[in-house]
Amino acid sequence: MTCSKEYMDRAENAVLHTYNRFPVVLERGEGVRLYDLDGKEYLDFGAGIAVFALGYGNKAYNQALKDQVDKLIHTSNLFYNMPMTEAAEKLLKASGLSKVFFTNSGTEAIEGAIKAARKYAWLRDGSTDHEIIAMKHSFHGRSLGALSVTGNAHYQEPFKPLIGGIRFADFNDLDSVKEQITEKTCAIILEPVQGEGGIYPASREFLQGLRSLCDEKDILLILDEIQCGMGRTGSMFAYQDYEVEPDIMTTAKALGCGVPVGAFVLNEKTAQNSLVPGDHGTTYGGNPLACRAVSKVFDLFEEEKILEHVQKIAPYLEKKLDELVEKYDFLTERRGKGLMQGVVVSGRPVGEIINKAIENGLFVLSAGTDVLRFVPPLIITEADIDEMAEKLERSF
């Protein structure tokens, strides 16, 4: 533990304290397991916050990055590069949309989506006072724009004033959204499955109702798939299971499976009537290294039949979590979609359970104030789920 403590102390001295980190210094990973500096093994049901969909140490993924490092890492967007084109084509094929803009993170993708929506509305009527409707208990990121559409006052309060023209409606309540619509409304933004807010899936009626509402009033529908996308719910993107298509979609996290990369993706109507040269940019976005990761991720999803595996294994995870809810009085509900699951904890601090789970060699996350969140690598097996349940019960 001495070596780990030294690194933790050095980090606290050098890194701005904006995270209350768990007392673990991770060194390496393999499959669905992580190992700390002291050699202790952890079963990972957090996946770097829903990032490492393919697990750790995937040789084909690692080799693709190594090969790209030896070729070209960065060019800027003043030039074309092959990985960017290949990654864009695969993302468009997977999403069914028309044009992509690569960013460095999910938060940046949200910023771009907001700008595209406002530019679309400005071109339509020349007004600069448009409004966006977001959802209560949502989470879209920490920059000022993304924070402005995040429906949680706790995150927002110290950083006001935020960007204006944002109204909030109740998730899964179509009438609540209708009440917020004015002649200034240009976009509605939401997560098909709310993540940080507590693992709440949208109902089919709600999401399809929003699509109809947006079509009727020429409002853009922005779907944030940063956490729930890239196969996590069993479809490549969660909206595909609802038979709804967004005007703008944001993605990140598992898009690069560890390499920092995000994107916002637009349908043809929005792409042709929004951002033009000079409106938006990024130095690193779309660089060859990040886009090689994206391109390889899509290849491996197909080769390793990741979506089929999620569809097959998710019911087993649901069954095991349901059994725990049935067994323990302080677990009151399971909710979620695919391999994005949450269990509501009543009367016991979620943080204490998570800390005890770490002692027992298991990583799980929290969501909201009272939810245990399970977002493992998409390659987990029934044996991994059994082991998770056993370690969790020991932690209880």
**Span 268-299, pLDDT tens digits:** 999 999 999 999 999 999 999 999 999 999 99
The string over 104-136, giving b where at least 16 C-beta atoms fall within 10 Å of a residue's C-beta and e elsewhere, is: bbbbbbbbbbbbbbbbbbeeeeeeeebbbbbbb
Percent of the chain with pLDDT over 90: 98
Same domain, 297 and 324: no
Same domain, 240 and 388: no
363 given a catalytic annotation: no
Distance, first Cα to last Cα, the chain: 25
Is the CB of residue 331 less than 8 Å from the CB of residue 161? no
224 given a catalytic annotation: yes
Instruction: Answer with the one of 271, 303, 335 that is the final residue of a domain.
Output: 303
Same domain, 206 and 319: no
Same domain, 74 and 217: yes
Same domain, 43 and 140: no
Distance CA(164)–CA(149), nearest Å, equals 10
Q: Which of 139, 264, 301, 363 is catalytic?
A: 139
**Span 129-186, pLDDT tens digits:** 999 999 999 999 999 999 999 999 999 999 999 999 999 999 999 999 999 999 999 9
In the chain, what is the greatest distance between 2 CA atoms, to the nearest angstrom?
A: 64
71 given a catalytic annotation: no
Same domain, 358 and 241: no
Instruction: Pull the structure tokens for residue 347.
Output: 């009367």
Same domain, 191 and 208: yes
* Whether the predicted pLDDT of 304 surpasses 60: yes
Could you tell me the residue range of the domain that residue 139 belongs to? 60-303
Q: At what angle do helices 382-395 and 306-327 cross, to 10 degrees?
A: 30
* Residue 3 binned pLDDT confidence (cut-offs 50, 70, 90): confident
Q: Which of 36, 224, 241, 247 is catalytic?
A: 224
What is the average pLDDT across 75-81?
95
**Span 189-231, pLDDT tens digits:** 999 999 999 999 999 999 999 999 999 999 999 999 999 999 9
* Degrees to nearest 5, angle at CA 45 with 342 and 257: 110
Same domain, 112 and 231: yes
User: How many domains does the chain fold into?
Assistant: 2
> According to the 3-state scheme, what is the secondary structure of 269-286?
HHHHCCCCCCCCCCCCCC
* Whether the predicted pLDDT of 1 surpasses 70: no
**Span 316-357, pLDDT tens digits:** 999 999 999 999 999 999 999 999 999 999 999 999 999 999
Q: Which of 253, 320, 337, 391 is catalytic?
A: 253
What is the average pLDDT across 12-19?
95
